[in-house]
Amino acid sequence: MHLLQVSHLQKKYGSHEVVQNINFHINRGECVALLGPNGAGKTTIIKMILNINKLTGGQILLNGKRHDQMCQFIGYLPQHPTFDPWMTGKELLTFMGGLSNIDKEVLEQRINELLDLVGLGGVKNQLIGTYSGGMKQRLGIAQALIHQPKLLIMDEPVSALDPLGRRDILELLKVIKQTSTILFSTHILHDAEELCDKILIINQGQLLVNGSINQIIEETQQPIFIIQAPRIGEWTHELVNEDIVESIELTGNAAKVRVKNIERGRNWLLRNITRLQLPVQKLELVQESLEEIFIRMVKSS
C-alpha cells in the first residue's frame, strides 16, 4: 500500500478548475517534488492533502485511510510560516509539542534532539525575533517534525531564502530525507533535481509528468544538435523540416536544433550542411537537461 494515494483530485473555484484530475502516489521513504510555475496549483494540492482546502472531486488516502481522518500524521511547513517573535525557539516547540499530547519527558528529549538536528541547539533559548530567515525556516522544519509525522509536507521551503540560506536548508533536508517521507513544492528545478527521487510537474492544474528524474529524462527528452558557424542565422530557414525538426533557436553564431529523432535529425543536418556548404566550426549532439524539459513542457501545455 502506498503511503499517500491521490486519485482524480479536482479543485474548482466557481467555474475555474484550478486542479484537474490529478493522480499520483508516494511510497514510504520517498522524497517527492511538486514542481510548477507560479499559479500552477501546488499550494492548492498541498492544502487539499492537509484538509485545509476541501476537495471538489477525487480522493486522497494516507496509509489507506481517508486523509481527513489522518491529518495528525502529517507535518507541515507552510510557504510563509509566522512565529511569535517573543517566544524562544525551545518555547515554541514545547508549545507545539504540547498540542500533540506528547509526554513531557519524551517531548523535552525530542525537542533537544530536533533543535540539534536543525542546527539551532546553540540558540534555542534566544527569542525567535532575533532569528534570521534561514533560522526561522529551520525552526519551522523542527516544528513540522515534532510529532514524528509519517509524511512531511513543505510548501516552497527555500524560495524566500538567500543563496546561502537556501544551501543550508537543502543540506538539512538531505539529512532529514534519510529518515522521513517528504513532499515539497518548488518552482526551482535544481532543488528538486538535487533532493528528490520523484518529480511531479504540474501546470495550470494539470499533471504533465510524474516519475524519477532518470525516467523523465529518458522518456521525454528530445535530442538537440548545436551547429556553430559564422552567420548561421542566415541559413537556419533552410534547416526547417516539420517531420524532423522540432525547433531552432539562435544564440550568436550557434543554432540549437531540437530534433524528433537522433538518426533522422543527424542525416538531415549533415545533408544540408554539405548542400549549403556551411562553414561549420562545430556540430555537437547534446542531451536536453531537466530544466529544458520542464520549460518546454510548461510552454507547450
Site residues, ligand ATP (CB under 6 A): 13, 18, 36, 38-44, 187
CB of 232 to ligand ATP, least distance (A): 37
The C-alpha cell at 241 is: 523540416
Q: ∠96-179-40 over CA atoms, to 5°? A: 75
CB of 33 to ligand ATP, least distance (A): 13
Which of 162, 191, 161 shows the shortest CA–CA distance to 177?
A: 191
Nearer to ligand ATP, 144 or 227 (CB): 144
Nearer to ligand ATP, 11 or 136 (CB): 11
CB of 244 to ligand ATP, least distance (A): 35
DSSP 174: H
CB of 25 to ligand ATP, least distance (A): 20
CB atoms within 10 A of CB 75: 21
Nearer to ligand ATP, 188 or 280 (CB): 188
Amino acid at 94: T
The C-alpha cell at 33 is: 517534488
CB of 193 to ligand ATP, least distance (A): 18
- Buried-state track 126-149, b at ≥16 Cβ within 10 A, e below 16: eebeebeebbbbbbbbbbbbbbeb
**51 contacts 35 by C-beta, under 8 angstroms:** no
What are phi and psi for residue 226, nearest 5 degrees?
A: -100, 125
Which of 297, 228, 298, 227 shows the shortest CA–CA distance to 268?
A: 227
Nearer to ligand ATP, 25 or 47 (CB): 47
Nearer to ligand ATP, 115 or 196 (CB): 196
Nearer to ligand ATP, 184 or 225 (CB): 184
CB of 37 to ligand ATP, least distance (A): 7
Q: ∠164-50-28 over CA atoms, to 5°? A: 75
